[in-house]
Amino acid sequence: DTGVSQDPRHKITKRGQNVTFRCDPISEHNRLYWYRQTLGQGPEFLTYFQNEAQLEKSRLLSDRFSAERPKGSFSTLEIQRTEQGDSAMYLCASSPAYREYYGYTFGSGTRLTVV
């Protein structure tokens, strides 16, 4: 296992289209997090899962956003009817539940550009 994998690395889409991103966490990690990061800012929390349960969602996660982790392994983040303001880097991170800080690992992100 080489870390947290995110796919695709880059996505360009037209406004109004739907997009879906995938995150594969480190296999033994049962916690998975999604963040959004815009230029010059730190990551902003979107949502997190423990196993397959989505335990917390940010107010940033509007009705157009949905995240799933159906079998407690990989996760998907879908954005419906994309808007130009959705253009950002979408980061996934995973961690173990115990002493999560020592294993907290980010993926390389998916860069979304909405044109």
Could you list the residues that contact other proteins (CB under 8 A)? 4, 6, 31, 40-45, 48, 50, 55-56, 58, 89, 91, 93, 95, 97, 100-102, 104-109, 111
* Cβ atoms 7, 90 nearer than 8 A: no
Q: What is the CA radius of gyration of the chain?
A: 13
In the complex, the smallest distance separating the C-beta of residue 111 from other proteins, rounded to whole angstroms, is: 7
**DSSP class of 17:** -
Identity of the residue, 18 or 38, whose beta carbon is nearer to other proteins in the bound complex = 38
To other proteins, the closest distance from the beta carbon of 92 in angstroms equals: 8
Q: How far is the CB of 64 from other proteins (least distance, A)?
A: 20
Q: Provide the minimum distance between the beta carbon of 23 and other proteins in the complex, in angstroms, as a whole number.
A: 11
Of 115, 103, 106, nearest in space to 45 by CA: 106
Looking at the Cβ atoms of 55 and 115, the one nearer to other proteins is 55
Which run of H or of E encompasses 91? strand 88-95
Contact residues for 113 (Cβ-Cβ < 8 A; gap 6+):
10, 11, 12, 13, 87
Token pair of 6, please? 């995110």
Nearer to other proteins (CB atom), residue 59 or residue 71: 59
The type of residue at 41 is Q
Cβ-based nearer residue to other proteins, 53 or 81: 53
